[in-house]
Structure formats: C-alpha cells, structure tokens
Amino acid sequence: MSGGWNTIESDAGVFTFLLNNLGVQDVQFEELLTLEPDSLAALYPVHGVIFLFKYPTDTPYTSTDKPLDGTFDHDAAERIWFAAQTIQNACGTQALLSVLMNKEGEVDIGGPLHEFKEFTMALPPEFRGEALSNSELIRDAHNSFAKSSPFVDETQRTGGETEDAFHFVAYTPVDGVLYELDGLQPAPISHGACTAEDFPVKVTEVLQRRVARYDLSEIRFNLLAMVRDRRATARELGDFETLAREEQKRRDWQFENALRRHNFVGFAGAVLSRVVDAKLKEGGEAAYNKWIEDAKAKTRQRLESRKKGGGDGDVEMDG
C-alpha cells in the first residue's frame, strides 16, 4: 500500500464498511435523495450527516473572520473532536470521523479509534490533522475502498482541463449545539442550539441555505446520514420484512465494494479476444470486417441522434 490517500466514492456502502473495518459497531450510512426534514427524521436516531458539494472557485471559501453562515466557535475546537485537513483525498473519511468521534458514548467506536481519539484530543486541531494523515490504520482502511484504475494515477495529474473539485463536510449536534465540522475552516462553525430531536429540521435549513448559494443548474450534491444499524432496530421491533431487506442491502454493498477493488481490464481483454476469435471462425476475415463496420455505423447513428436531441432506444447515463 502506498503512503498516499486515494479517492473514494461518496457511497453509503463504502462508508458503512469503512467504519466496520475500523471496529465501529452498530452504525451504518443511508443516502438521502431530498433535503426534507421528514426523510431524515424517519432514520432516527441520526448521529450526523456528511454533505458532498462542488468546491467553489469563484468566491473565497475559507475565512478567518466570519463564515458565510453561522459563527466560528474557536473554544469548541478544544472541547470537541475537530481536525484541520492537511491532506488531499481524505476529506470524506475525515468528515465521517468528525461525526463519529463526537458520538462516543452514543456509538461504540471500537478500541483502535478510541485510542486514536484519546491521543489526538490532547493536540491542537492542526496536529490532529497531521496525526490523522499519519495513521496507517485509518489510511489503509480508507484506501481499501479506492477504485482500481490501471490508467489514472491521482497523484500525477498533468495538463489538460481543470477538473471540478468536490469536498465533504460534517454536521452533527454536540452538547446542544449544531456544529459544521470542516477541516478547511479555522474552527468549528456553530449554527445555534440543537438537540438530537431538532437535528433533522435544523440541519436541513442550514443545507438548504448552502445549496441556494449555487446556480440552479448545479445539482451535484450528495448527502449521507450516519444512523444506527437498521438491522438492530428491526430485530428489536420484530420487523422481519425490514430485517430481510436490510440484510440483502448489506450483501449488495459487499458485492459492490468487491467490484470497486477489482481491475476488469484483463477480463475485458479476454472476452474481446474470444469474441474476435468466434467472429473469425464464423465467416473468416470478411465477416469480421463487416461486424466492425456495422458497429461503427451504429455508433455514428447514436452520436448523430444525441446531437439532434433524439433517442435511439438505448438508455445512456452520463457521468
């Protein structure tokens, strides 16, 4: 494993099993598709949320004076777990830790993370960030969910168009206050009084104000809620239908995570080679060439149809 931190997806299954691998018990993530308080309240108890958004480049993002919303609480940085972000590609893991570390007592964070928290709470935020960047335990767990790519080295970008940058921040109620925990800011940001019961309404209001600052065409946001393991709740209630559905969800997440780690280039090459051999055996080189030309024609037809705004019966998803 390299010493760097690789990019991981904002995905409920990734973050759930990332925490599991760090020894955290009875916690999972759920993706929210709307900014409605009822959707979040339905997942009660909610420990916090992690918000992914496009990093703004047209206006200053950080400030030492006053944030765009809320107020800096410099004293809170000594009382709660807050770390400055000192490394790239780790903001997702740092955001989930920002919620988790402040929920010990409500959540069993496990022995390794308890020891890490005990050690880092004695440090100022900037050194907590350094300690996080140097934690082999957390880095290895994080990197184990990185996509396998034989073509792209995230640490060696050169030239070309500038890609959009995205960032994670955490929101969680701590000691009766709703905090925004963002390692790029100089301190925790207070959004006022907030109980666990108030959290769905209060955090939704904050997020709606944040989204409203973007152009209406910007829709690339993602919201994940850290909640209690829904299987445990289903067992307590005797809700075996929900339990079965949640168990299937875990199996699906495990399968998807396994796919993320696998490099399919060799497999795709082997399949293509077998297809070419089959075409050559069917009708020789002439049949093979016709197959290629037919494929090119269909591709041109699809491209022309897309330029005209039409469809050709195929459903395509643009990333």
Among residues 47, 142, 167, 191, which one is catalytic? 167
Dist. CA 286–CA 47, nearest whole Å: 64
List residues bridging with 172 in a β-sheet. Answer: 179
**Residue found by looking up tokens 């993530």 in the block:** 29
> Strand 166-174 relative to strand 46-54: parallel, antiparallel, unpaired?
antiparallel
Q: List phi, psi (to 5°) of 225.
A: -105, 135
> Strand 166-174 relative to strand 71-72: parallel, antiparallel, unpaired?
unpaired
Q: Determine if residue 123 is left, alpha or beta; phi over 0 gives left, psi from -120 to 50 gives alpha, anything else beta.
A: beta
Tokens at residue 250, please? 């875990």
The answer to whether the CB of 128 falls within 8 A of the CB of 83 is yes
91 is catalytic: yes
262 is catalytic: no
Among residues 91, 142, 191, 194, which one is catalytic? 91
Q: What separation in angstroms does the CA of 306 have from each of 218, 270, 292, 298, 311?
A: 22, 31, 21, 12, 6
**Residue found by looking up tokens 């988790």 in the block:** 100
Dist. CA 51–CA 10, nearest whole Å: 9
Q: What separation in angstroms does the CA of 143 have from each of 9, 150, 248, 266, 306?
A: 11, 15, 25, 22, 37
The answer to whether the CB of 190 falls within 8 A of the CB of 76 is yes
**Residue found by looking up tokens 């964070």 in the block:** 109
Q: Which residues are catalytic?
A: 91, 167
